[in-house]
Amino acid sequence: MVTPNPTGDREKVVSKLPSWLRQDLKVRAAELGIDIQDAVSAGISAWRAALDGHSPVDTSGSASFSTWLPSGQWDELKDTCTERGIPFVQGLAQSVQTWMGAHPSPRYRPVTGICQRKVVINQKGGVGKTAVAAGVAQALAEDGMRVLLVDYDPQGHLSDQLGVEQLPPGTDSLVLHMCGESKGDVRDLVVTIESSRFEKRLHVLPACPDGFLLDAKIAVSRMRNKEAALERALQPLEKDYDAIVIDCPPSLGMATDAAIYYGRRRQGEGEGISGMVIPVLAEDSSATAYTMLAEQIESLRDDLRLEIEYLGLVVNLYDSRRGYVATSSLKAWRNLGDPRVLAVIGDLKEQREAVRKRMPLLAYAPHSDQSEIMRQIAREIS
């Protein structure tokens, strides 16, 4: 529905938008100090000017949305939607997404020009490293950052969960680049996650089963400063991204040393930007594993005189119904103080469902509690 403004300059448009997109638009416009009507108008102009339009947006559950547009622009949008064979609601949603993609949140604009490095790490398996790494990377990309998600675990759970093919054994891979044996370009290994929520800002460097040999290959190599192997391999990519998130393997070996080294605070980099994100469980065995990891981090910090920051803990798969062990363990994690607890994630079904569908969580269930928690963690560490 269109209602003319008495002045004739603008007309009120009543349509529909998904609730999550309306909320994102409201927040982004407020962050940038832009009127929503101006943001929508600019988005429509940009979307109509794009020859290939825009990736489809999930408009299920759309609710009423109204704004003021320059006279005639709504008719122009409808004409373009008709030409492209899509509903008006879809065209409006794609226009808003176009504007969002071109206007990232100011919270994530790099200040130092140094690519942020988030190392999601714990040598204990089953604590949710992959879910946290993927969720944080998705949240950062959703909010405007260019993000590379590195599947550093040769088991390849991250690649599998996001529907990305692992690199075949014996072919070019991160392992070969780390060991100085590759003759290719590491950029050629990167895969784009195709989802309208991320606007081609989320990329994955897939796993390769050859990674099971990485510790041994680093140990016998003649490289100097072996701890810098991961940094040397990823350095050509850093200029293309605002953040790189590493999903580490459950190991205390040299590959983990390289990941810790990569996440150190570099000269000129602010505090609380790069460092370790440690998923844990509310149980005694997780506390023991954390102690071993902390000793490895402190040993590297002391031996190499590095500034290594703990960005925080994520208590995952928490269920208070498990009784005293769970509740007392959570209290103990919180009482550590440093590192702080960034979030507590319940044993929720949406992540498991997203894995089954081989989809990013924030694309599969963008309004779920688990997605909101991932956004919270991303805000806390950026």
* pLDDT digits 0-9 by tens, 103-150: 877 765 554 578 999 999 998 889 999 999 999 999 999 989 999 999
- How many Cβ atoms from other residues are within 10 Å of residue 182's Cβ? 17
According to CATH, what is the number of the domain 110-380? 3.40.50.300
- Is the CB of residue 204 less than 8 Å from the CB of residue 149? yes
Q: For residue 17, how many other CB atoms are within 10 A of its CB?
A: 23
CA terminus-to-terminus distance, the chain: 41
**Distance between CA atoms of residues 25 and 96, nearest Å:** 7
User: What pTM did the predictor assign?
Assistant: 0.77
d(C-alpha 373, C-alpha 360), whole Å: 14
Query: Between the CA of residue 149 and those of 117, 222, 244, 255, 350, what are the distances in Å?
Result: 10, 28, 6, 17, 20
- The DSSP bridge partners found for residue 192 are 203
Residues 133, 245 contacting (CB under 8 angstroms): yes
pLDDT digits (tens, 9 = 90+) for 56-93: 787 877 889 999 999 999 999 999 999 999 999 999 99
**Annotated domain spans of the chain:** 2-102, 110-380
Beta partners for residue 278, in sequence order? 313
Which tokens hold the place of 310? 């703990």
Are 253 and 123 spatial neighbours (Cβ–Cβ below 8 Å)? Answer: no
The torsion angles phi and psi of 365, rounded to 5 degrees, stand at -135, 70
- Residue 243 vs residues 79, 108, 137, 140, 182: alpha-carbon distances, Å: 39, 9, 8, 8, 24
CB 201 within 8 A of CB 190: no
Nearest to 19 by CA among 58, 46, 55, 47: 58
The string of DSSP letters for 191-224 reads EE---TTTTT-EEEE---GGGGGHHHHHHHS--S
State the DSSP code for 63.
E
The torsion angles phi and psi of 380, rounded to 5 degrees, stand at -70, -30
Cα Rg of the chain (Å, integer): 23
Per-residue pLDDT of the chain (382 residues; tens, 9 = 90+): 555 554 558 899 999 998 888 888 998 899 889 999 999 999 999 999 886 656 678 787 788 999 999 999 999 999 999 999 999 999 999 999 888 878 877 765 554 578 999 999 998 889 999 999 999 999 999 989 999 999 999 999 999 999 999 999 989 999 999 988 888 999 999 999 998 889 899 999 999 988 777 877 777 776 778 899 999 999 999 999 999 999 999 988 899 999 999 999 999 898 899 999 999 999 888 899 999 999 999 999 999 999 999 999 999 998 888 888 889 999 999 998 889 999 999 988 999 999 999 999 999 999 899 999 999 999 999 8
